[in-house]
Amino acid sequence: MLKNQFIPTTVVFFIGVIAFFIFKDSHHLSYWYLSGLLFIFLLIQSIGAYFIQFNFHLTSINSLATTEKKVLLTFDDGPHNPHTAKVLEVLKKHDVKALFCVIGKNIVGNEIILKQIVDDGHQLANHSYSHAFWFDVWSTKKVTNDIANCQQLINAYQASPQLFRPPYGVTNPNIAKAIKKLKLQSVGWNIRSYDTSTNDIEKIKQRVLSQLKPGAIILLHDRLEFMPQLLEKLIPAIKEKGYAFSNSIT
């Protein structure tokens, strides 16, 4: 698994560029070699940014530190009224704790739901204030301010742990600098349900079950209307496989 490879990869790329110009004439090198080097560099950067599990730009918690048959449910994009409230009812019914990665702008007007999340014993994580489409191309300063605005809202309900899940799971050097400055810990996942790609509850359930492993962190979205119905089927199915639910990311 890759780990914090942005700087080493960049150094290798520039060494390659320097070497190209040094040996270009003596070895009759075509500029196609330079184009190929650039393509490979950009490809590696893109893959590293998209797959949070590679820990390419920053180190994330992508699985629980356990070999026991325990998993953690995580929910992105809330709080949502009324869907998050219904998700909380199902979790309480099955005595399951989870991690809610909340968007700052969604907290405004839904403070009661956020308080209920904490009162029910669940954890909160920062999922940015805006969850803007262009979040991953913003400057470090803009990213930092956005995350800090969400963290300020979260801290009114939960002081620690201070967790952050990047919007869309995309990472880059600017996001890495921002969360380091804010002293946040990035959280990823190792089971993606793709619940935003289909509303077929049985298909989503089977996709999750097929990937179950000790320490799994499962990505779901509490803003989805069908999420309570999915949980009513998914939670018992996970328990039937002998798994318990962790009450904490750490």
For 58-108, write each residue's pLDDT tens digit: 999 999 999 999 999 999 999 999 999 999 999 999 999 999 999 999 999
Q: Is residue 15, in this structure, part of any structural domain at all?
A: yes
Q: Is residue 224, in this structure, part of any structural domain at all?
A: yes
Q: Is residue 187, in this structure, part of any structural domain at all?
A: yes
Q: Which of 136, 195, 221, 222 is catalytic?
A: 221
HEC per residue, 105-152 = HHHCCCHHHHHHHHHCCCEEEECCCCCCCCHHHCCHHHHHHHHHHHHH
SS3 196: coil
Same domain for 36 and 85, yes or no, is no
Cα gap 202→186, rounded to integer Å: 30
Instruction: Please report the pLDDT score of residue 123 as a whole number.
Output: 97
Q: Is residue 179, in this structure, part of any structural domain at all?
A: yes
> What's the rounded mean pLDDT across residues 147-172?
95
Same domain for 240 and 138, yes or no, is yes
Terminal CA-to-CA distance of the chain, rounded, Å? Answer: 21
Other beta carbons less than 10 A from residue 70's beta carbon: 15
Same domain for 26 and 119, yes or no, is no
Q: Is residue 83, in this structure, part of any structural domain at all?
A: yes
Q: Which of 6, 4, 92, 72 is nearest to 42 (CA)?
A: 6
Do residues 55 and 4 lie in contact, with contact meaning Cβ atoms separated by under 8 Å?
A: yes
Q: What one-character DSSP code corresponds to residue 169?
A: G
Instruction: Please report the pLDDT score of residue 1 as a whole number.
Output: 43
> What's the rounded mean pLDDT across residues 155-177?
94
Instruction: Please report the pLDDT score of residue 4 as a whole number.
Output: 58
Mean pLDDT for all residues in the chain: 92
Cα gap 150→102, rounded to integer Å: 8
Q: Which of 56, 51, 81 is nearest to 2 (CA)?
A: 56
Same domain for 170 and 137, yes or no, is yes
Q: Which residues pair with 61 in a beta bridge?
A: 187
| 131 catalytically annotated | no
Structural domain harbouring 29: 6-50
More confident site: 241 or 11:
241
The tokens for 207 are 């996709």
> What's the rounded mean pLDDT across residues 230-250?
95
Q: Which residues of 156-186 are buried (b: 16+ CB within 10 A; e: fewer)?
A: eebeeebbbbbbebbbbebbbbbbeeeebbb
Q: Is residue 250, in this structure, part of any structural domain at all?
A: no
Same domain for 172 and 67, yes or no, is yes
Instruction: Please report the pLDDT score of residue 108 as a whole number.
Output: 94
> What's the rounded mean pLDDT across residues 218-234?
98
Same domain for 86 and 113, yes or no, is yes
Cα gap 67→216, rounded to integer Å: 10
Quote the crossing angle between the two packed helices 173-181 and 140-155, to the nearest 10°. Answer: 40
Same domain for 69 and 105, yes or no, is yes
Q: Which of 101, 103, 170, 108 is nearest to 138 (CA)?
A: 170
Instruction: Please report the pLDDT score of residue 196 as a whole number.
Output: 96
Do residues 91 and 216 lie in contact, with contact meaning Cβ atoms separated by under 8 Å?
A: no
pLDDT band at 5 (very low <50, low <70, confident <90, very high): low
Per-residue pLDDT tens for 187-202?
999 999 999 999 999 9
Q: Is residue 1, in this structure, part of any structural domain at all?
A: no
Instruction: Please report the pLDDT score of residue 75 as a whole number.
Output: 98
Same domain for 216 and 105, yes or no, is yes
pLDDT band at 3 (very low <50, low <70, confident <90, very high): low
Q: Which of 57, 76, 83, 146 is catalytic?
A: 76
Same domain for 110 and 138, yes or no, is yes
The domain total for the chain is: 2
Per-residue pLDDT tens for 177-188?
999 999 999 999
Q: Is residue 46, in this structure, part of any structural domain at all?
A: yes
Same domain for 14 and 74, yes or no, is no
Same domain for 110 and 171, yes or no, is yes
Instruction: Please report the pLDDT score of residue 8 as a whole number.
Output: 67
Do residues 173 and 49 lie in contact, with contact meaning Cβ atoms separated by under 8 Å?
A: no
Do residues 122 and 79 lie in contact, with contact meaning Cβ atoms separated by under 8 Å?
A: no
pTM above 0.75, yes or no: yes
Same domain for 120 and 94, yes or no, is yes
Listed in sequence order, the residues at least 6 apart from 27 whose beta carbon sits closer than 8 Å to its beta carbon are: none
Which amino acid would we find at residue 93?
K
Domain harbouring 209, CATH code? 3.20.20.370
| 221 catalytically annotated | yes
Per-residue pLDDT tens for 6-57?
556 667 767 877 887 888 888 888 888 788 878 887 787 778 777 898 898 9
Instruction: Please report the pLDDT score of residue 7 as a whole number.
Output: 59
